[in-house]
Structure 1
Amino acid sequence: MKRSLLLLTLCVVTFPVIASHIVGGEFEIRYISSNRYEVRLILYFDLQNGNPGAQDDFANARIFRKRDNRFMQDVFLPLDSISRVSYTQPECSNGEIQTNKLIYKTTVTFSDSQYGDAQGYYIVWERCCRNYNSKGLINIVSAEPPPGVIDYPTAAGQTFYLEFPPVVKDGKPFINSTPRLFPPLNDYACPNKFYYADFAGTDVDGDSLAYTLVTPLNTHTAEAIPSAGPASAPYPLVTWQSPFNLTNIVGGAPDLKVTSDGLLTVTPTLQGLFVFAVKCEEYRKGVKLGEVRRDFQMLVVDACPVADPPQILGKKLTDGSFTYDKTMNVTFSNTVSDANRCIEVQVSDPDALKSSDGFMENVTIKAIPLGFKKDVSGILPSITSVTLTSTNPTKTFQICFDECPYIEGPFTIGIVAFDDACSLPYFDTLKVLVNITPPVNHNPYYVTSNITSSITEGSALRKWLIKAVDEDFDVMTQVIVPGIGVDLASAGMSFKSLGQVGDTLFTEFTWDPRCDVYNFTSRTNFDIMLQVEDKDDCNFNHPDQMKINLNILLPGNSKPIIFSPELTNNSPLIDTVNLERKVNESLTFHVNGHDDDKDKIVLTGTGKDFSLATYSITFPGDADVENVSSLFTWNITCDNVNLDAKDEFTFHFIVSDNENKCRFHYSDTLVVNVTVTPPDNTAPELFISSVNPELLLSTDNHLAVTLGQQIDLSLNGFDYDTSPHADLLQLKLLSATGNVQPEGYTFADAEGLGNVQSPFTWKPECDIFTNGVYENDYVFTFLVSDNRCFNEKGDTIDVNIKIKDVDGSDTEFLPPNVITPNGDLKNDFFAMIKRDAVTGELKNILPLDNCTGHFEGIVIYNRWGREIFTSADREFKWYAPGEASGIYYYLIKYSNKEYKGVVSVSYWDDESQAQR
C-alpha cells in the first residue's frame, strides 16, 4: 500500500481554553419551515495536538447585517454530536492524523421584519487557536500567546464566517439553505506526488456553487474566546510566513489550486503542515446569495511507498485490440441492439508484477460524467473491482450504454481506474465521447390556432375546444406555463381535460365574462400560455406551446367628483388647496361628492400620517347614492396642536365609487394643506412705582436711597389679550446684580390671569458695605411674561438703586461753650442743639450716626477732673446743678472718634456776656 497526502478540513469554533487544536470547519444554515432554520457549526478537532479541555460544550455565535454591520442577535449553539473522521483508505493510516468532527446546532427563527434587508446578513464565531509553528505549521505565522495576553499579533486564531440572504424579497418569502460541504479527507500527502480532493459541496435548492482559494481569516484578539463576543467585520487576515502567499500556499509544483467546481489539486515539494482556506459562493439565477468559508490543514510527510498508477485502455466491440489510450469516440445509431451498444476497457497496473506488493494490486473502475451532472454508474458491469496478479495482470470490463443518451447530442464520460495506493489511490482515465441516436420520436403539436378575443362584459359563456396531436400516439400532458400572475378561476376561466383519443388530446377552455360574478379588478387582459409534452422513450423535452390572449370590455362608468363650496368654489377641477391658520382660530368647510351614474359613493377624510382625533378634528364623512357631503371642523387651540413637533397638516378627502357592477374602485381626491402658525399676541406691560413717599423713582427708574430708608416698590403686570381667554401672567425677578451682591431684600414671584402684582421691599443695613466703600449701585431686572402658546411675549424693567451711607461729617460741628444757668430760662443748659436761622427750630448739631461710627455718650468733668455728668442720650441737657461758675471739660464719645472741649458756667445777669 502506498502513502499519500492527508487533507484536513479547517473550521472555526470557540473553545474556552487556548490550545492548538482547530483543524477546520464551517457554518451551515438549513431551512426547516416557515421562518425556522437550523444553524450548524461544524468543527474539526485535532486529537493529537489539541487540549481535551478546549473541546467546549457550546459555542456563542453572532449575526450582523451586511449593509452596516449592525448587530442582529446572538446564537447559542450547544454541542450535539462528536464523531471520528475516517481515512479514504484506513489501512494506509499509521496515526499521523486523528481528527474528531464536532457538530453544534440549534433552531433559530428569522422574522420577516428583522431579516428582510436586501444585502443580507452574516454569522461569525471567533476562536483561538490554530496549530502553532512549534507543532509543524510552516506557511503562516502562528505562535502560542503568553497566558493572559490579548494583543499578540503573532497568534493565529480563526474566524468562522458565513453570509446568507434575507428571508423575504419583494414582499414574498425567500427560502434558501446554505451549501453543505463534503467532509474533509483525513489523508496526508507526500513530496513530489500528485494529490487531489473533491471539495465540491451540495445545495438542496439547486443553486450554483463556485470555489476560490482565499487567505484564511484571523481573529481580532488572541483570547481563546473574545470576552466581548464575536466582533463585526472586517476581520484581519493571517500573516503568511515568507516565501508563502496566496499564490504559493504550500510551495508546490504546481501549487495548490481549486477549480470553480471544487476539485483541489497540488503536487507538494515540501514536508510540513500547511494552512489554506476555500471560499464557496452560492448563486441563484446569476445573483450571489452568500458565501461560506472553510479552512484546511494539509500534512505533507515523506511516507508514501514508490508506486505506479494503473492504466486503462479501450476498444470498440469490432476492434481486435485495445488501441484507445486517454480518449476514444464511439457512435451508435438507433438501430443498434442493446448487446452491441457497448465498448470494452482493459485495466492493468505495473505494481501487480512487483514482489514488494506481493505480486498483486487491487483495481476498481468508476464512471463519471464530464461536462454534465447525472448518475452514469448504470453503464458499468455488476463487478467493478478486481485483484490483478502476476499471472493475471490485466482485466477486461464491458461498458454498455442505454438506447437513450444522458443528454441530447454527444456527451463525454470518464472511465477511471483506481488502485489502492496510500494514502490516495493513483488513477488513470479514459475519456469516451459517446454519440447515441435516440429512438425516433415525433414531437407533439397543437392543431388549434392561437386564440385572440375581446369579449364584452356580461356576454354569454364562451367555450373553445383545444386539440393537440402526437403522431407516435404517445401519452401527452398539458400544463399552463407559470407567469400569468392571476388565478384563472377568479377571472371566470377554466380548463377541462376531455381526455386523449388516439393521437389527439382534447381540452375544453371556458370563460364566463360576468364582472358581477368574477373579479376583473386586478386585470382586464389575460395572456395565457399552454404547453403540451409527450412521454417519449427518452423523456426529452420538446414541448409545443399555444397562446390565448383574452380581453374583457367592461361597461363604462363615470368617476365620482369631489369639491368644496368654500375652498374650491364648487369646482371639481381643483384638487389641491393650501391654507394658513393661526392657533386660536377655527377652520370649517364642507366637502361634497357627486356621481353621475347615481352609484352609491362614500366620502372619507384622513390625515396624512396622523389621526384626526388626535387633533380634535371632526369629519364624520358620508355614504349615499349620487351625492354626499360632510362638514370639516377644527378649532385650533394650544391643547390640540404642538407647533414644535408639527405645523404642517395634509388632509386627504376621498370620494369613492366601489360598489358599481364590476367592483372597480373609482375615486377622486381633494388635498388640503394647512399650515398652522403661532397665535396673535399683544405683549404684556410691566409697571413699577415706589410706595414710600420719601423715595421717588425717576422717570428712568433710578432710585437714590440713604441708609436707613426702607425701599417699598410695587410691581404690576397687565395683559390686553382676552380671547379666547385672558393669558396667564408670570411676574418674576430675572436678575439682581451690583458691585456687591444684594442680599436681604424680599420679592416673591407671582402669577395671575390678565394682571399680576407683587411687592419688593428692602431696608438695607450697614452690612451691605464692604472694603471701606459706603456707596453701592444695584440693578434689579423684573420680567412679566404671558403664556400664549408658541408666541410668548414679555416686558422687562430695570430698576437702578444707589444706596449711600448717612453723612456723618463734622465740618459744621461747633458745640456751644457758655451756659448761664441763672433761672432766666435763657441759655440755662449745655446741649448739642442750635436754632435754625430760617425756621427758628432747634436741631441737634451732633454728627449723624452712620456705618463708620455712632454716638456713644458724653462725660463732663470739673476742673479737678471729677466726673460730674454723663449721658448716652444724643438729646442730653446739662443744667450744671449746684456747680460753681467756672470752666468745665467735656468728652463726646463716638464709636470711632472723640470730641473734647470746654464749657463755661456763668451766673451773670447780662445775657450779652454769654458767649457762644
Structure 2
Amino acid sequence: MKKYLYLIFFLAIALESVASHIVGGEIELTKIKNPAPGTTHEVTLNLYFDAINGRPAAEDISITLTFIRKRDLARVGEAVCQRVYRDLIKYIDPACSKGDLQTLLIRYQATLNLPEASFSDPGGYAIVWERCCRNVIITNIRNPSSVGMVFYTEFPPLSIANNSPHFKDVVADYLCINQNFEMDFSATDADGDSLTYELITPWIGYATMGQPNPISIGRSSYPEATWVDGIGLNNVIPGTVPLRIDRNTGVLYARPDKLGLFVFSVMVNEYRAGVMIGRIKRDFQLKVVDCKINLPPQIMVRNQGVNAFIQEGEIINLKKGDKKCFDILFLDPDISQKVTITARGVNFDTKKINIPSISNVVIQNADTLKNSFCLDECIITKNNQAAEFILNIQDNGCPVPQVKSYRMKINLADADNTRPVITTSLTESPSVMYGDTLKFEVFGNDIDLDTLSMSGAGRNFNLGSLGFSFPSSKGIGSVQSTLQFIPNCEAVRQKQVVLDFVARDLRCGVSNQTAYSVPVTIQSIPNNAPIVSTTLTDSVVEVILSPDGKTEVKFEVEAVDSDKEMITLGAIAEGFDLKTASMTFQEKEGISMVNSLFTWVPTCYLLAGKDSKEFVVKFLTQDKACDQKQDTVSVKFLLKNNLSAENPLKPFNTFTPNEDGINDYFTIGSIPEDNCNRQFVRFEIFNRYGKSIFVTAEKDFRWSGDKEPSGDYFYVLYFTDEVYKGVIHLVR
C-alpha cells in the first residue's frame, strides 16, 4: 500500500512541472544598438500563459533556446534566458478584462555574443524552443492538454544586418459571439523590411506530458495539431466571418458564431528586396464568449453650410478659393460609452488635416453630436491626385473597440503646380575667345506665381575655377540673373563646357524644378611657338679635356617669340644633373626675347675612366599662352681625353757646360701634354752617392750642372702613372 501511495505522490510532483495551460508566444532576435564589449544581440521569448487555469509551479524560471543551421539542421548553439517580466496583458480599456479569463505575459531574455563568422551560412538559421502542454479547454484541436507548442523564428546570416519583426502587444484575449471583431495583430520591422502575414496550422512538436521540455534539435518540419471535426485552416474560429488575417496589414477580423476557446498561429514572413530573409511565428488563442452586443459608432460628413451629407467614396470638387471645412456628425447607440475621432492622410501629410481634439467624448444620450474640421491651405498630393484621407470613429467597447472608418476624396482645383520655365537672352549657342567676355541673361518664370529660386552650376566643374560667375536669385513668380564668363587658360584647355541652370518653385513646402543646359565653346587666340637657338655653329661640340682644369665651353642661348608674349628659357640635362656636371645655365623669363649664357668647365672625373663620353643638353623655351607652345634645341657634347703621345722622349744624355754656346745645359726635351690618364709630376737628379742635387716641377727646365764636377749622374722622371729613369753624362 505504501508503494502505491509513493507512486501517486511522485506522479503528482511530475505533473506539476507540465505547463498545461500555455496560450502562445513568439521568439525575437534583435541587434543591440550600443553593445557592451562581448555582446552583439538580445534574444527574447514572450510566453502567454493562462493565469486562471495554469499552475504557477509550472512556470519556468529560465528556458534554453536552441540555435539551428537550416542547411544541414546542425545544432550550432544555445541561449539560456532568464525570466525578466511577468504581468497580465493590458487591455485598451481595463474594464474589458473578465474575471474568469486572464492571460499572463511572461518574458524571458538573454544578452548574447554571436560572432558573424560563426553564423555565416547563406541558408540562414532558426531559433527553437519546445514546451508542453497547451490549454486543456481549447476547443478547435484534439488532445490540447497532451500536446506541446513549438516557438520558432528564422534569421539570415549575420553578414546581413537584421532585426526580427516585433509583434505589437496583445490587447484582448476574447471576442463576442455574433459580433464583429477586429484586432491589430501586426508586427513592426526596425530595418524597414516588408512583412506579410498568414494563418497556419499550429505546430505541436515533440514535447509531451512525459517529456514536457525536450532538448530541441534541428528538423525540416514539425508535427502539426489535428483539428477537431468541422474545423480547418479556413475556419479556425468558425462564424459568418471566420477568422482571417489581412496579408499586408496583419489585422485579425472575424464574426464568430460558436462559443469556445480557439488556438491559431500567425506566420510573419520578412522580405528584403523581394527575397525572404526570415520569418517569425506567434501562437495565440482567443475565447468566444457571450457578451453584450457592442454596436459600432456612426459618422457622417458634410460641407459646412450644406445640408446634404457626403457619400463615402464620393469625390468632392473644390474650386480655388472654396472653403475647405467640413462638419462631422456622429453618434453611438451604446449610451455611456466613449468615442474618439481621428484622421489619417492617405496620400498627403496627416498634419494638414486641422481636426480639433475629439477624444473620449462620453455618449450621454441618443442625440447626434457635431464637430468640424478644416484642411490646410497647403495640400500637395503625389502626381496631383485627389487628396484622400480617412476619418476613424472608435468606441471603448469590449473586448476591443469597434471602429468605423469613413474615407474621403477631395479634388483641389489649386493643387496643380506647374513647373517653372527657364529662358535666356541667347539667340544661338555661345562661343567666346580667350581674352573676350561672354555675358547673357537667364530668366526663370512660374505662371503659378510661387516662390521661385534659380541657380547655376558647371557640369563636372566649379564655375569659378574656369572664370564663370552666376549669382543665385530668388523672387515671386519670376527671377533673373546674369551669367558672365571671362575665360582663363584652364577654360581654354577644356574647349567646351556645359552650364546647368535650375529653377525651383516652392509651394506649401513642396518644390518643383526645371533644368536647362547651355553648352559654351571656348576658343584660344592664334599663337606662334617661340624659337630657341644658340651661338654655336654646330649642334655637336667636341671637348678635349685638360687635366689642369683650363678647358672651358661657353656660348649664348637665345629665345624669341614673334607674338611678344611672356616666355621662359631653361635647360634640361638628359640622364645627368647640370650642376653635378659643373654646367652653369640660368633659367630666365621675359617678354618677347630672353638669353642666357651657358658655361662648362669639365673635369676628368666626368669620364669615369673612359676615353670619351657624350653629354646632351636640351634648351627649351615655352610661351605663357593658354596652349603653351614651345621649342627646343639640343646640343651634344663629345668629351674626350687628350690621347697624344703618352710616353716621354728619351733625352740627349751628354752635355758640356763650358759656355761655348754648344750643348751647355741638360734638358729633358719635349714632354707630352698632360691628359686624364697621365700627368707630369717632377724631374729629379741624383749624384753617384744617391744624393738629390736637382729637383724641378717645370717641364721646360734647364740644368747647367751647377758646380757639380764631371761625371755620371742619374735622373728620375715622375708621372702620375709611371716613373722613368736614366743617366746623364756631365763633361767639363
Which segments of 5 or more consecutive residues in structure 1 lack a partner in the other structure? 1-14, 145-154, 169-173, 353-359, 449-464, 482-487, 514-527, 550-597, 599-916
Partners of 1:445 and 1:532 within 8 A in 2: no
* Distance in 1 between residues matched to 2:251 and 2:286, nearest whole Å: 15
* Counterpart for residue 501 of structure 1: 473
- For residue 218 of structure 1, report the CA deviation from its aligned partner: 1.2
Q: Is 1:537 the counterpart of 2:507 in the alignment?
A: yes
* Distance in 1 between residues matched to 2:484 and 2:124, nearest whole Å: 46
Partners of 1:165 and 1:290 within 8 A in 2: yes
Shift of the 308–80 alpha-carbon distance from structure 1 to 2, 3 Å rule, reads closer
Q: Is 1:240 the counterpart of 2:240 in the alignment?
A: no
Partners of 1:403 and 1:436 within 8 A in 2: no
TM-score (norm 1): 0.45
- Please give the residue correspondences for 1:569-648 in structure 2 after superposition, counting only pairs within 5 Å: none
* Counterpart for residue 140 of structure 1: 141
* Distance in 2 between residues matched to 1:251 and 1:431, nearest whole Å: 30
Q: Is 1:407 the counterpart of 2:381 in the alignment?
A: yes
- The equivalent position to 1:183 in structure 2, one of 169, 178, 187, is 169
* Counterpart for residue 345 of structure 1: 328
- Please give the residue correspondences for 1:470-869 in structure 2 after superposition, counting only pairs within 5 Å: 472-474=450-452, 500-502=472-474, 534=504, 536-540=506-510, 542=512
Which segments of 5 or more consecutive residues in structure 2 lack a partner in the other structure? 1-14, 425-439, 491-497, 520-574, 576-732
- The equivalent position to 1:60 in structure 2, one of 56, 61, 64, is 64
Shift of the 41–187 alpha-carbon distance from structure 1 to 2, 3 Å rule, reads closer
Paired residue secondary structure (1:44): strand
What amino acid sits opposite 2:262 in the alignment?
A: F
* Distance in 2 between residues matched to 1:364 and 1:228, nearest whole Å: 49
* Counterpart for residue 314 of structure 1: 301
* Distance in 1 between residues matched to 2:271 and 2:411, nearest whole Å: 32
* Distance in 1 between residues matched to 2:375 and 2:214, nearest whole Å: 62
* Counterpart for residue 411 of structure 2: 435
What amino acid sits opposite 1:418 in the alignment?
A: Q
In the alignment of these two chains, the number of paired residues is 463
- The equivalent position to 2:367 in structure 1, one of 384, 393, 400, is 393
- For residue 237 of structure 1, report the CA deviation from its aligned partner: 1.0
- The equivalent position to 2:190 in structure 1, one of 199, 204, 207, is 204
Paired residue secondary structure (2:95): helix
Q: Is 1:128 the counterpart of 2:132 in the alignment?
A: yes
* Distance in 1 between residues matched to 2:267 and 2:456, nearest whole Å: 43
* Distance in 2 between residues matched to 1:531 and 1:197, nearest whole Å: 53
* Distance in 2 between residues matched to 1:293 and 1:529, nearest whole Å: 57
* Counterpart for residue 777 of structure 1: none
Paired residue secondary structure (2:389): strand
Paired residue secondary structure (1:253): strand
* Counterpart for residue 398 of structure 2: 422
* Counterpart for residue 295 of structure 1: 283
Shift of the 474–545 alpha-carbon distance from structure 1 to 2, 3 Å rule, reads closer
Shift of the 439–87 alpha-carbon distance from structure 1 to 2, 3 Å rule, reads same
- Please give the residue correspondences for 1:250-261 in structure 2 after superposition, counting only pairs within 5 Å: 250-260=237-247, 261=249
Paired residue secondary structure (1:389): coil
- Please give the residue correspondences for 1:876-887 in structure 2 after superposition, counting only pairs within 5 Å: none
Query: Deviation per CA, 1:188-233, whole angstroms, max 9, x where unpaired?
Result: 2122111111122211222211111111111223155544344433
Query: Deviation per CA, 1:290-321, whole angstroms, max 9, x where unpaired?
Result: 1111111010111x224433221121124124
Q: CA RMSD in A?
A: 4.3
Partners of 2:173 and 2:285 within 8 A in 1: no
* Distance in 1 between residues matched to 2:124 and 2:199, nearest whole Å: 23
Paired residue secondary structure (1:267): strand
- For residue 120 of structure 1, report the CA deviation from its aligned partner: 1.8
* Counterpart for residue 357 of structure 2: 382
* Distance in 1 between residues matched to 2:344 and 2:288, nearest whole Å: 28
Paired residue secondary structure (2:174): coil
Paired residue secondary structure (1:114): helix
- For residue 81 of structure 1, report the CA deviation from its aligned partner: 2.2
* Distance in 1 between residues matched to 2:71 and 2:517, nearest whole Å: 44
- For residue 275 of structure 1, report the CA deviation from its aligned partner: 0.2
Shift of the 109–432 alpha-carbon distance from structure 1 to 2, 3 Å rule, reads same
Shift of the 434–529 alpha-carbon distance from structure 1 to 2, 3 Å rule, reads farther
Shift of the 544–55 alpha-carbon distance from structure 1 to 2, 3 Å rule, reads farther
- The equivalent position to 2:274 in structure 1, one of 270, 286, 289, is 286
Partners of 1:368 and 1:377 within 8 A in 2: no
Partners of 2:196 and 2:250 within 8 A in 1: yes
* Counterpart for residue 253 of structure 2: 265
* Counterpart for residue 202 of structure 2: 216
- For residue 411 of structure 1, report the CA deviation from its aligned partner: 4.0
- The equivalent position to 2:342 in structure 1, one of 366, 373, 387, is 366
Partners of 1:16 and 1:224 within 8 A in 2: no
* Counterpart for residue 50 of structure 1: 54
- For residue 100 of structure 1, report the CA deviation from its aligned partner: 2.2
* Counterpart for residue 105 of structure 1: 109
- For residue 288 of structure 1, report the CA deviation from its aligned partner: 1.5
Query: Deviation per CA, 1:719-743, whole angstroms, max 9, x where unpaired?
Result: xxxxxxxxxxxxxxxxxxxxxxxxx
Partners of 2:378 and 2:508 within 8 A in 1: yes
Partners of 1:470 and 1:476 within 8 A in 2: no
* Distance in 2 between residues matched to 1:507 and 1:41, nearest whole Å: 69
* Distance in 2 between residues matched to 1:274 and 1:213, nearest whole Å: 13
- For residue 279 of structure 1, report the CA deviation from its aligned partner: 1.0
Partners of 1:179 and 1:282 within 8 A in 2: yes
Query: Deviation per CA, 1:501-535, whole angstroms, max 9, x where unpaired?
Result: 33589999xxx99xxxxxxxxxxxxxx99997957
Partners of 1:325 and 1:430 within 8 A in 2: no
* Counterpart for residue 578 of structure 1: none
Shift of the 378–21 alpha-carbon distance from structure 1 to 2, 3 Å rule, reads farther
* Distance in 2 between residues matched to 1:76 and 1:479, nearest whole Å: 61
Partners of 1:19 and 1:128 within 8 A in 2: yes
What amino acid sits opposite 2:56 in the alignment?
A: P
Partners of 1:533 and 1:544 within 8 A in 2: yes
Partners of 1:181 and 1:200 within 8 A in 2: yes
Paired residue secondary structure (1:138): coil
* Distance in 1 between residues matched to 2:223 and 2:30, nearest whole Å: 28
* Counterpart for residue 40 of structure 1: 44
Shift of the 441–293 alpha-carbon distance from structure 1 to 2, 3 Å rule, reads same
Query: Deviation per CA, 1:786-817, whole angstroms, max 9, x where unpaired?
Result: xxxxxxxxxxxxxxxxxxxxxxxxxxxxxxxx
Partners of 2:44 and 2:107 within 8 A in 1: yes
* Distance in 2 between residues matched to 1:80 and 1:548, nearest whole Å: 67
Shift of the 497–296 alpha-carbon distance from structure 1 to 2, 3 Å rule, reads farther
Shift of the 89–443 alpha-carbon distance from structure 1 to 2, 3 Å rule, reads same
Shift of the 548–113 alpha-carbon distance from structure 1 to 2, 3 Å rule, reads farther
* Distance in 1 between residues matched to 2:89 and 2:458, nearest whole Å: 49
- For residue 259 of structure 1, report the CA deviation from its aligned partner: 0.9
* Distance in 2 between residues matched to 1:220 and 1:447, nearest whole Å: 77
Paired residue secondary structure (1:425): coil
Shift of the 545–237 alpha-carbon distance from structure 1 to 2, 3 Å rule, reads farther
Shift of the 93–81 alpha-carbon distance from structure 1 to 2, 3 Å rule, reads closer
Partners of 2:501 and 2:517 within 8 A in 1: no
